[in-house]
């Protein structure tokens, strides 16, 4: 996730699930990808509390 959060999009440096998430987001229309991204970030923030 660090690669995604910090702007690196080099798939060769991503882990398996990071790559799958990146590929899934790229297949979605912009509105849906934005909503999914928001949801994933919300889940990450829930784990920090």
Q: Please, what is the Cα angle at 9 between 43 and 48, to 5 degrees?
A: 20
Q: What radius of gyration do the chain's Cα atoms show? A: 11
Over 90: is that where the pLDDT of 49 sits?
A: no
**What percentage of the chain has pLDDT greater than the value 90?**
59
Give the pair of three-digit tokens for residue 43.
């889940």
37 and 28 Cβ atoms separated by less than 8 Å: no
Among 30, 32, 47, 49, which residue's Cα sits nearest to residue 1?
A: 47
Residue 18 host element (H or E) = helix 16-27
> Does pTM surpass 0.85?
no
């Amino acid at each position: 996730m660090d690669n995604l959060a910090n702007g690196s999009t080099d798939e060769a440096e991503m882990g398996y699930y990071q790559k799958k998430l990146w590929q899934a987001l790229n297949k979605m229309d912009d509105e849906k990808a934005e909503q999914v991204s928001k949801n994933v970030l919300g889940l990450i923030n829930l784990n920090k509390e």
